[in-house]
Structure 1
Amino acid sequence: MMDRILTNKWSVRIISLIFAAILFTSVTSTSTNVTNVTDGVYVDVINNVPVEVYYDKDNMNVAGVPDTVDVTISGPKGLVQLAKTQPNIIAYIDLTNAKAGTQSVKIKVKGLSDRLKATVNPPTTKVTLAEKVTKKYSVDVELNKSVIADGYQAGTPKTDPKKVSITASKEILDQIAYVKATVSDEKDQKSDFTTKATISAFDANLNKLDVEIDPGEVEVAVSVSKIGKTVPLRFQQSGNPADKTVTITSITSDDEKVTVIAPESVTDTIEQITIPIDVTQTTADKTIEVSVPVPTGATSVTPTSVKVKITTGKKQSDQSSNGANEGTGQPKEESPNVTTPDTETGNETDEDKEDDQTDTEDTTKQSSTEFKDIAISIIGLVNSDSFSTAFLNPASGKVNITISGLKTEVDALGRNDFNVVANMSNLQDGTHTIPLAVHGLASKFTFTLSQSKAEIQVTKKVADASDPVLN
């Protein structure tokens, strides 16, 4: 049957015609983006055509113009495809003779062949034409965190000029909440520096506003000062080994110094940091890691912890020890960076032993004390002069703290020996819940706060604007 069909010339012609029709349909249907063909008229869409607007740019400001529109074109296939591949089409709004105010205007097109028809989507838009107003604004400088090196702080940046002129419609000018010069190109500065920064204007939600700023760039001078001080570490032996045959010969660390981050008024009073080392459970040489306490009034220390090597020895009999000392005529050698507990020699009476036992009980007794209404200090807020802060919870900005430790050491604590702080680094205006920390309290103490977090509202001070000048 198939052989008879293929040998018949009319069958072959019909099959060829069918294949030709299928091929023609396939080619025409895959023409680029051609969406419709009616009576030889081809239709296609050119997306994202930029919109130009013509108006008195020297004296007027316009808002509400869309960035782009879609244009549907129709006409002969060749011209449609040419318009797609070589887009000369321009969408525009003509406001040269328009009056100030809000109005609906038609979006027109040009640059097409007269034989093509164009339809714009959307065909119209609502725009606002307003007279330009110029105001002068003070400039706030914003420094990225990476600009200043660790252990250093920036003073109040100064700009030249101090104010810039911003031109826009009154409606847009009323939206300006911040005028900022952001410094980000500089890195790890340790000394005073001067750089240039571009000016931008923002609304209350930090949306950038489309305005004219003159000058668009200012010179920023920043003073940089060191806020840290390097001081030596000293290790103080706490207690004696429980094993009476073990002695402590030295307590040392490869980290002999630390840097204290604090204002100069605080670092001037710090000459060294003493860390107590508990050796009561020491039976042989060992290395331990201990935290470095943050001095009162300081923000932090670097490093925050150090490794300490405890070297031990074995006690000789009293007779041998005395003989050795007498034979050499030299006192027992002690490590220069370790302070050992005072000891007394001589015969002890029963009364002395009772007193020693009472003293031992007092020094090992645990105790707690509560300090009430400790004010929370806010640290880390960049450009703090540009913000105001208010405590929402606790409303008083104060908390209670209970500190526990050895009774003799807890009893010696005062309100000035520690600070409760809320670190607001890298935060902007808004309401923030900040974890509370305690600075300056030695690591040998434990503490409990009446609340572990504070809710703080940060408000940006309104930009200072001078009287408007009409163009």
Structure 2
Amino acid sequence: MDKLMDNRWFIKILALVLAVLLYSSVPHTTNSTKFTGVNVPGEQTTETLNDVPVKVYYDTENLVVSGIPNKVKLTLKGPVTHIQNAKALRNFEVYVDLTKAKIGHQTVKLKIKDLSDKLKATIKPSRVNVSVQEKITQEYKVDTEFNQGLLQEGFAAGQPVVEPNKVKITGAKNLIDRISYVKATLNVKDQINKTISQEANIQVLDRDLNKLDVEVDPSTVRVTIPVKDISKKVPIDIKQIGTPPSGVTIDSITLDTKDAVIIGSEHALKNAHVRVEVDVSKIDDNKTMDLPVIISNGITKVSPEMVTATIVVKKQEEKTISGIPLTILGLSDQYSAEINNPDNVDITVNGPSSMVNKLKSKDFNVFIDVSNLKEGDHNVKIQVEGPSEVDWELDQSRANVTITKNNA
């Protein structure tokens, strides 16, 4: 063996064999990383990061800045390992430096720091138009707003109570100058028939009702809106207008609804009344009529607005009953009396046909009362007792009577 090792040719041949073996053990491809997926140190690549936050440096105590996007797109170019580290750690910062900016509108450049010097960064957008304004704080009174259409019929909303009723608003001077409305809007969806109280968010709007980007302290307030009943149930009065035609008497007028519900102010409801007016001047028979319900001043609504009236009439008839004898009442036993004129009377009766047609002379008691009279001739009023359902009239209203004293 020692002899072989001393042989120069043997050593050369052995070295050649070992070299061939070593060479064959190494992969021989033109692009090994392409197929094995292994990153070769120093390889260059490009990658884009979306939604990279932007940091803004400025005097937050005295200034308000607008126009800077919250996030930007960042494209990185460089070695694969450095890009992977930057992507995983996010140990860099995209920022805008406004520490020396003046008040007004200006274009500023977005910058990046704490990024590996092996990487090249492209920010999109690279520049932005910003507005730097003086920050001011003012106090405003809060108005309330809710959907009045949700009030149930017969109910009204009183004066809202807001606690606190003033808020402090902080923002850029140009926005503060635009403030026209500071509103607390109630989130109510159901019908309202009782007092409501809830927390409401504050909205700050300009005159065109655009929402302004300002800070409100406090951002919510408690709003209480008193709700009260403004309805009342009252009877419907019936008023007759005019005079019935000749021969017609109104027996009754009834309504299909006797009461109405009215809505109005508290003062108006105290003395409110409603009525229907029935013109009887043209009613000559039983009939029904649809009539409007008339309301008094201060009443805004009535229900029902129309009612149906049923009118019952009595037809009138006139009849003369003749030759009804006069009787004498109240005569003392010591006196005698004689009617000189008239001995009997005629009576004209007016009333419902059904009643008048049945009347006879016996249905009337025609008399004179002489209870307080002494001897002599007297002119005495003739009196009548008869059915209450009819009217009557005598052809003579007085009678001549002679009273004499009886002999003992």
Q: What is the TM-score of this pair, normalised by structure 2?
A: 0.54
- Could you say what secondary structure the match of 2:298 adopts? coil
Residues 31-54 of structure 1: CA deviation (Å, up to 9, x unaligned)? xxxxxxxxxx999998x9997756
Alignment of 1:195-274 (within 5 A): 195-239=198-242, 249-254=252-257, 256-261=259-264, 263-270=265-272, 272-274=273-275
Amino acid at match of 2:67: G
Query: Does the CA-based 8 Å contact 2:315-2:353 persist in structure 1?
Result: no
Q: CA deviation at 1:252?
A: 0.8
Q: CA deviation at 1:247?
A: 5.2
Most deviating of 323-332 and 144-153: 323-332
Query: Partner of 1:310 in structure 2?
Result: 310
Cα distance between partner residues in 2 of 1:193 and 1:285: 50
Cα distance between partner residues in 2 of 1:50 and 1:158: 43
Q: Choose which of 147, 168, 176 in structure 2 pairs with 1:173.
A: 176
Query: Partner of 1:27 in structure 2?
Result: none
Cα distance between partner residues in 1 of 2:68 and 2:100: 14
Query: Partner of 2:64 in structure 1?
Result: 61
Query: Partner of 1:158 in structure 2?
Result: 161
Alignment of 1:102-181 (within 5 A): 102=104, 103-107=106-110, 123-181=126-184
Residues 129-173 of structure 1: CA deviation (Å, up to 9, x unaligned)? 234222221111123214543323222212111211111122211
Residues 82-133 of structure 1: CA deviation (Å, up to 9, x unaligned)? xxxxxx9x996524534242221235699x9999998777653321123422
Query: Partner of 2:292 in structure 1?
Result: 291
- Could you say what secondary structure the match of 2:294 adopts? coil
Alignment of 1:5-24 (within 5 A): none
Q: CA deviation at 1:249?
A: 3.3
Q: CA deviation at 1:198?
A: 0.8
Query: Partner of 1:451 in structure 2?
Result: none
Query: Does the CA-based 8 Å contact 1:53-1:94 persist in structure 2?
Result: yes
Query: Does the CA-based 8 Å contact 1:258-1:302 persist in structure 2?
Result: yes
Q: CA deviation at 1:329?
A: 6.3
Amino acid at match of 2:302: T
Change (3 A) 1:162 1:247: closer
Query: Partner of 2:355 in structure 1?
Result: 321
Q: CA deviation at 1:211?
A: 0.7
Query: Does the CA-based 8 Å contact 1:231-1:259 persist in structure 2?
Result: yes
Residues 178-212 of structure 1: CA deviation (Å, up to 9, x unaligned)? 11111232644444342211111111222111111
Cα distance between partner residues in 2 of 1:117 and 1:44: 12
Query: Does the CA-based 8 Å contact 2:275-2:295 persist in structure 1?
Result: no
Amino acid at match of 1:275: V
Query: Does the CA-based 8 Å contact 1:147-1:189 persist in structure 2?
Result: yes
Query: Partner of 2:376 in structure 1?
Result: none
Query: Does the CA-based 8 Å contact 2:57-2:99 persist in structure 1?
Result: no
Amino acid at match of 1:293: I
Judging by fraction of residues, say which structure has more strand. 2
Change (3 A) 1:245 1:50: farther
Query: Partner of 2:279 in structure 1?
Result: 278
- Could you say what secondary structure the match of 1:315 adopts? strand
Query: Does the CA-based 8 Å contact 1:241-1:283 persist in structure 2?
Result: no
Q: Choose which of 101, 104, 111 in structure 1 pairs with 2:103.
A: 101
Query: Partner of 1:365 in structure 2?
Result: none
Q: CA deviation at 1:316?
A: 6.5
Query: Does the CA-based 8 Å contact 1:93-1:105 persist in structure 2?
Result: no
Query: Does the CA-based 8 Å contact 1:292-1:301 persist in structure 2?
Result: no
Query: Does the CA-based 8 Å contact 1:147-1:187 persist in structure 2?
Result: yes
Change (3 A) 1:236 1:131: same
Q: What is the TM-score of this pair, normalised by structure 1?
A: 0.47
Cα distance between partner residues in 1 of 2:206 and 2:304: 41
Query: Does the CA-based 8 Å contact 2:260-2:302 persist in structure 1?
Result: no
Cα distance between partner residues in 2 of 1:234 and 1:268: 16
Query: Does the CA-based 8 Å contact 2:293-2:307 persist in structure 1?
Result: no
Amino acid at match of 1:320: S
Cα distance between partner residues in 1 of 2:271 and 2:260: 16
Q: CA deviation at 1:60?
A: 3.1
Cα distance between partner residues in 1 of 2:187 and 2:303: 27
Change (3 A) 1:44 1:223: same
Change (3 A) 1:293 1:93: farther
Change (3 A) 1:308 1:248: farther
Cα distance between partner residues in 2 of 1:60 and 1:173: 13
Most deviating of 279-288 and 139-148: 279-288
Q: CA deviation at 1:237?
A: 3.3
Q: CA deviation at 1:347?
A: 6.2
Cα distance between partner residues in 1 of 2:125 and 2:244: 87
Cα distance between partner residues in 2 of 1:308 and 1:231: 17
Query: Partner of 1:387 in structure 2?
Result: none
Query: Partner of 2:86 in structure 1?
Result: none
Query: Does the CA-based 8 Å contact 1:248-1:310 persist in structure 2?
Result: no
